[in-house]
């Protein structure tokens, strides 16, 4: 069990174009949403598709790739790690966020 790592692999379609930001230190960051679908049959035998949305973050050269090649509805495969963080919103409430920090992007097909 000691060889298990924080690793996420997803294949899905982008729900939006990446949002690109350059930090104060000059590092580029891309943020985008990826939809993954799982299909199963319910108790009545009806086919049901459930969609999960994932927030992905790409840094540096991967952010450059995201900016150039990723767009809404593009199908991609990603590998990365799950990252959890928290912040305090304007109303003083503590909020929690889970994101996938991308280590690799594979461009698949364009969907219409």
The pLDDT tens digits for 19-33 are 999 999 999 999 999
pLDDT of residue 1: 58
Instruction: Let me know if residue 49 belongs to a domain.
Output: yes
Instruction: Let me know if residue 2 belongs to a domain.
Output: no
Contact 88, 72 (CB under 8 A): no
The number of distinct structural domains making up the chain is 1
Instruction: Let me know if residue 84 belongs to a domain.
Output: yes
pLDDT of residue 73: 94
Instruction: Let me know if residue 31 belongs to a domain.
Output: yes
Domain span at 55: 8-110
pLDDT of residue 4: 72
Instruction: Let me know if residue 100 belongs to a domain.
Output: yes
The pLDDT tens digits for 39-62 are 999 989 899 999 999 999 999 999
Instruction: Read off the CATH number of the domain in which 51 is found.
Output: 2.40.50.140
Average predicted confidence (pLDDT) for the chain: 94
Instruction: Let me know if residue 85 belongs to a domain.
Output: yes
The residue with tokens 């990603």 is: 78
């Amino acid at each position: 069990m000691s060889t298990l790592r924080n690793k996420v692999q997803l294949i899905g379609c982008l729900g939006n174009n990446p949002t690109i930001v350059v930090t104060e230190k000059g590092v580029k960051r891309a943020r985008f949403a990826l939809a993954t679908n799982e299909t199963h049959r319910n108790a009545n035998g009806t086919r049901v598709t459930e969609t999960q949305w994932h927030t992905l973050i790409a840094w540096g050269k991967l952010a450059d790739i995201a900016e150039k090649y990723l767009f809404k509805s593009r199908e991609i495969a990603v590998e990365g790690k799950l990252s959890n963080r928290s912040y305090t919103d304007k109303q003083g409430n503590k909020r929690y966020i889970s994101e996938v920090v991308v280590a690799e992007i594979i461009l698949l097909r364009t969907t219409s």
